[in-house]
Amino acid sequence: MMNFTGVYPILATPFRDDESFDEDSMVRMLEFMARLGVEGVTVLGVLGEANRMSDREREAIVRVTVRTVGARLGVIVGVSHPGTKATIDLAAMAAELGAHAVMVAPSAEPVPSDVRVAEYFGRVCEAARIPVVLQDHPASTAVHMPVPLIARIVKDSPRIACVKAEAVPSPTRIAALRAALERQVPMLTGLGALYGQFDLEAGSSGYNTGFAFPEVLQAHVAAHQSGDVALARRIWSRFLPLIVFEQQPGVAVRKELLRRRGLLASAAVRHPGAGLLPAAGHGLAEVLDWVMPGVDITRPVDVLSLLD
């Protein structure tokens, strides 16, 4: 059973240059995550370009993920959809294919309504057969959920097993949720680890994000959980330039990093998403040389050896 503590990387969806799904790269990336020993993986999130997928492609991605690592890692599947019934159906499909949890975010409506958002989660959770991660990410959904609303949804929906806290400022948000929730559930940090140190100190249980070096996040969480605040801050500070560079709009930088790590054959982004500009590629090379000089990034990185 998943406890939603530790590191759960959000995975990019590999495409060939013609934008077709690249199953070989997907398997290679999944095996690498298993080798790192992360607690689980999430597919079909924002980084996974889920909004550009057909239902048949979604099914193929979940099937490959569960088949490859489902017995070794927790598998979370993003199933958010503007339609409540469609979200319920996608969650059912994920459960039938062997996923261990689903991630759900609300969608913006012409007339914002907290009542509708609560109804959406209530209906999805009532139908769900596996745990639900409530994703609070206004940057991608344009839905701003007040803390009392999230607290009410969590109280009314026992299926919710985790909150992915990505509304900024995330540290104060996490602290406010901790105080407001009658039924305490783990909270995971996203946003590319941009506020990771502050989020952990505020009460985050770990990471559910797409940063291309999960082993850095593993070392960070381990240091924090051991009570070594100084070491945790050193790890996060060391890699912060790369975290910031990667957290640019779109998914092109992250996919290029995964390509350079040898996990993706191509960094292709589905249209209308934009690929990496040459100037950004040069900048990425400079940041990598700054943060990890001489390191073979195709292998798991020895994080502690890089600390000043």
287 close to 245: Cβ distance less than 8 angstroms: yes
pLDDT at 225: 97
Q: Which fold has domain 6-238?
A: TIM Barrel (3.20.20)
Q: Give 229-262 as a DSSP string.
A: HHHHHHHHHHHHHHHHHH-SSSSHHHHHHHHHTT
Q: Is the pTM of this model over 0.85?
A: yes
H or E stretch covering 306: none
232 residue type, one letter: A
Instruction: Answer yes or no: are the C-beta atoms of 297 and 285 closer than 8 Å.
Output: no
What confidence score (pLDDT) does residue 279 get?
A: 87
Phi, psi of 133 (to 5 degrees): -100, 120
List the domain boundaries for the chain: 6-238
Question: What does the DSSP assignment read for 43-82?
Answer: ESSTTTTGGG--HHHHHHHHHHHHHHHTTTSEEEEE---S
**pLDDT at residue 66, rounded to an integer:** 98
* 308 residues of the chain, pLDDT tens digit each: 789 999 999 999 999 999 999 999 999 999 999 999 999 999 999 999 999 999 999 999 999 999 999 999 999 999 999 999 999 999 999 999 999 999 999 999 999 899 999 999 999 999 999 999 999 999 999 999 999 999 999 999 999 999 999 999 999 999 999 999 999 999 999 999 999 999 999 999 999 999 999 999 999 999 999 999 999 999 999 999 999 999 999 999 999 999 999 999 999 999 999 999 888 899 999 999 999 999 999 999 999 999 97
